Structure 1
Amino acid sequence: MDDISTSTLFIVLGVLLFISAYFSGSETGMMSVNPYRLKHLANQNNKGAIRVSKLLKRPDRLIGLILIGNNLVNIAASAIATIIGLRLYGDLGIAIATIILTLVILIFAEVTPKTLAALHPERIAFPSSALLSPLLKLFYPLVWLINWITNGLLALMGISPEKHQGNSLSAEELRTVVHEAGALIPEQHQNMLVGVLDLENATVEDIMTPRNEIIGIDINDEWKDIERQLANFQYSRILLYRDNIDDAIGFAHPRELMRLLLKDQLTKASLLRSTSEIYFIPEGTPLNVQLLKFQHAKDRIGLVVDEYGDIQGLVTLADILEEVVGEFTTDIAEDSNDDIVAQPDGTFLIDGSINLRDLNREMKMTLPTDGPKTLNGLILEYLEEIPQGRLSIKLAGYPFEIVDVQDNMIKSVRLLVSPKKAVLKKPAR
């Protein structure tokens, strides 16, 4: 080194610091690349993305290569800085060189390039991969040796790089990704995606029509009464039963009834023959499971039964789809009955039988849904008795006033809350 001028040593030191910055930035850039965008670009035959994907398949080898290069360069830079310090300041120059070099490396070879790479990972990672790929082949024996030693140490701790699971996401993590997408995904699409994820968190009991609200036709009634009911029926499936819901016979399709009517063959006997077999659903079935079961059974409606076989309610394919895409209905009966009515004074009059999930969705509230399924049930559980008249209570931080109680049920409730906390998604009709 004595024959090399000090100015030349400064140039070499600057080159080494630049190379150190390259390795530092490459490491951060490679590890900061969005894995899903990377896969998308690789599928689009982006050469840089393909190179980075290959390197990231074995991150232990990539990190080993980068750290080998970075440490060799930093050690060489330290040796040269020591020589420069000795030439300029003698023995004191060693301490001066150490302090100055540490600051220079931190600022120019570590913090700055890594910050830049973290902010723009693709701009750093894609070009860097063009040099890292041949370097990995060149230094492969040394990288393999170091990885063999380090992987052996990791194996003692029960960790295997070969079994690296990549960047899989749980349902909760994916839900966070959807919410954080912001303007990249329209709000309506976000709600649909979250709705699909939420299917596994809800059961058929959460969305079913309770048995006391199931509308059907008692086949034991007089034929004239049955004909009148058929003429006014407003649903796509007609449930037939004997005397009570527990003795259900089956579902009749209006299209089949129309065919029989056109042939003048519609009688009680033909009505019974036209019914389809009832599809029973065990209570507690998750909605995502039931959706697949409907698809497999080629059916779209079923009766929910408890462990004793008693009918608890009715669920349709449309009920499950509404959990994903939001409410839609073509039933006149449903259109003419609003469970939530906005009042002139800013309060809301709510039907006590409303499903809590529907109430939370419509009013953007957070009432608990892990217990009772209706607002009436939630209030009765809280009070532990049936109220005898008007009563004001607070549930989950929301003030309610019980307005009407009939037949041991809370028929209507007033929500006394500011529109800032609860706003209808669509105006009440």
Structure 2
Amino acid sequence: MDSISTEVLFIILGMLVLMSAYFSSSETGMMSLNRYRLRHLEKQKHKGAKRVSKLLNRPDRLIGLILIGNNLVNIAASAIATIIGLRLFGDMGVLVATIALTLIILIFAEVTPKTLAALYPEKVAFPSSVILSILLKVLFPFVIMLNWITNGLLMLIGVSSEQREQHSLSSEELRTVVNESGALLHKRDQDMLVSILDLEKVSVEDIMIPRSELVGIDVNGNWKKIQKQLTQATHTRVLLYRDKIDNVVGYIHARDALKLLSKNQFNKTTLLRAVRELYFIPEGTTLNIQLLKFQHAKERLGLVVDEYGDIQGLVTLEDILEEIVGDFTTTMTPTPSDAVTLQPDSSYLVDGGASIRDINKEMSWKLPTDGPKTLNGLIVEYLEDIPESNISLRIAGYPVEIIDVADNKIKTVRVMPEHFISQTND
């Protein structure tokens, strides 16, 4: 070393610091890459992504290679800095070199390059993968020997080098990814994707038309009345039953009725022949499962039944699709539904039979949904009795006044939303 000038030693030291910065930034860049974007780029035949993926398939070898290079250049830099310090400051040179090199390594070879690599991992990792791939081939025997020793130590504490963290997302994590996608996804697309993920949390009871609201035609009734009901039906599929809705016989499609009518063969006998079998759905079935069942069975509607086989309500394919894309008949501008009516005093009159989920979604309220499905059921469960009118209570922080009760059901209530509560408290 005595034959090498101090100026040359400074140049060598600078090169070693740059090499240390390269290894530090490469390690951070490789480990900071988005694995899902990397897979996407790899499928797009991106050369840099393919090189990086190959290196990351064995992270123990990659880390071993980077640490071998980083430690070699740092130790060499320490030796060079000590020689320079001794030449310039004598015995004090060791201390001066130690302090100066520590600061230089921290600033120029650690913090700065690692911060840059964390901010722009692809711009750092993809180019550096070329050099790392070459170095891995050159230093492969040393890397294997180092891995053999370190893997042996890991095995002593019960950790296998073959173990890998599975980079898979749960539905909750995927929901977070969608919500935080920002400008990458339109707000409406985000809502649709989140709604698809939420299908597994919603059961058919949450969206079904309840039994009390089912509309059908009694085939044992007067024929003229049956004809009138069919012609005035608002749905293309109409339930048919005998005497009462519990004795349902099937449903008829409006298209089938029109065919019979066009052939002058429309009578009660041909009507019953055209009846289609009903599809039954066990209560508690989640919407994601029911959507698949509708698809496999080639059905578009089904009756929800409880464990005793009693009819609880009706669910259609359109009901499930509306959970994803929203109501087909509503405009883009949110407006209160027929079940919720704004009053001059900023309170709301709400239909007692309205779905709590629909009310919460439309009004951004937070009424509890883990129990009864309707507002009437929620109040009855809370009071443990069928109340009379003009009774007030508070549910989930909302003052509720019972306005109308009839036929053992709460027909109308007045609800004070949270913003109105805060105003009155002020």
Q: With the length of structure 1 as denominator, give the TM-score of the two structures.
A: 0.92
Please, which moves more after superposition, 70-79 or 108-117? 70-79
| SS, match of residue 309 in structure 1 | coil
Amino acid at match of 2:213: E
Identity among equivalent positions (%) equals 65
Cα deviation code 1:143-163 (max 9, x no counterpart) = 122223333344455544445
What is the distance in 2 between the residues matched to 1:149 and 1:401?
A: 74
> 1:370 and 1:391 mapped to 2: Cα distance?
24
Query: CA offset at residue 295 of structure 1?
Result: 0.2
CA RMSD, aligned part only? 2.2
> Residue 53 of structure 1 aligns with which residue?
53
- 1:325 matched to 2:347? The reply is no
- Whether the 8 Å CA contact 2:304–2:312 is kept in 1: the answer is yes
The C-alpha deviation readout for 1:282-310, integer Å capped at 9, x for no partner, is 11111111100000000010011111111
The DSSP-based 3-state class of the residue aligned with 1:373 is coil
Q: Deviations over 1:91-126 (max 9, x none)?
A: 332222222222221111111111111111111111
Equivalent pair of 2:29/2:124 in contact (CA under 8 Å): yes
Structure 2: how far apart are the matches of 1:186 and 1:420? 32
Which residue of 1 is the match for residue 289 of structure 2? 289
1:94 equivalent in structure 2: 94
CA distance 1:140–1:366, change in 2 (3 Å): farther
Q: Give 1:238 deviation, angstroms.
A: 0.9
Q: Partners of 1:341 and 1:223 in 2: how far apart?
A: 39
Partner SS for 2:338: coil
Counterparts in 2 of 1:376 and 1:401: CA distance versus 1, 3 Å? same
CA deviation after TM superposition for structure 1 residue 23, in Å: 0.7
Q: Secondary structure at the match of 2:403?
A: strand
Residue 366 and residue 148 in structure 1: after superposition, are their counterparts in 2 closer, same or farther (change >3 A)? farther
Bigger shift: residues 87-96 or 150-159: 150-159
Aligned to 2:346: 346
Greater CA drift, 239-248 or 395-404? 395-404
Corresponding residue for 1:34?
34
Answer yes or no: is 1:363 the counterpart of 2:387. Answer: no
The CA deviation at 1:236 is 2.0
Alignment of 1:224-239 (within 5 A): 224-239=224-239
- Determine if the alignment matches structure 1 residue 311 to structure 2 residue 311: yes
Q: Secondary structure at the match of 1:102?
A: helix
> Displacement, 1:189?
0.4
C-alpha distance in 2 between matches for 1:363 and 1:160: 53
Q: Which shifted more, 48-57 or 107-116? A: 48-57
In structure 2, the partner of 1:424 is: none
Which residue of the partner structure matches residue 203 of structure 1?
203
Give 3-state SS (helix, strand or coil) of 2:123's partner: helix
Q: Which residue of 2 aligns with 1:24?
A: 24
For residue 246 of structure 2, give the secondary structure of its aligned residue in structure 1. Answer: helix
* Secondary structure of 1:247 counterpart: strand
Q: Which runs of 5+ in 1 are unaligned?
A: 422-429
The residue aligned with 2:122 is 122
Alignment partners' CA distance in 2, 1:379 and 1:111? 60
Other-structure match for 2:424: none
1:3 aligns with 2:3: yes
Q: CA deviation at 1:420?
A: 9.2
8 Å Cα contact 1:346/1:419 also seen in 2: no
- Partner Cα separation in structure 2 for residue 339 and residue 237 of structure 1: 24
1:39 aligned partner, one-letter code: R
Residues matched between the structures, number: 418
SS in 1 for 2:65: helix
The whole-number CA distance in structure 2 between the counterparts of 1:216 and 1:313 is 12
Q: TM-score if structure 2 supplies the norm length?
A: 0.92
Match of 1:112 in 2: 112
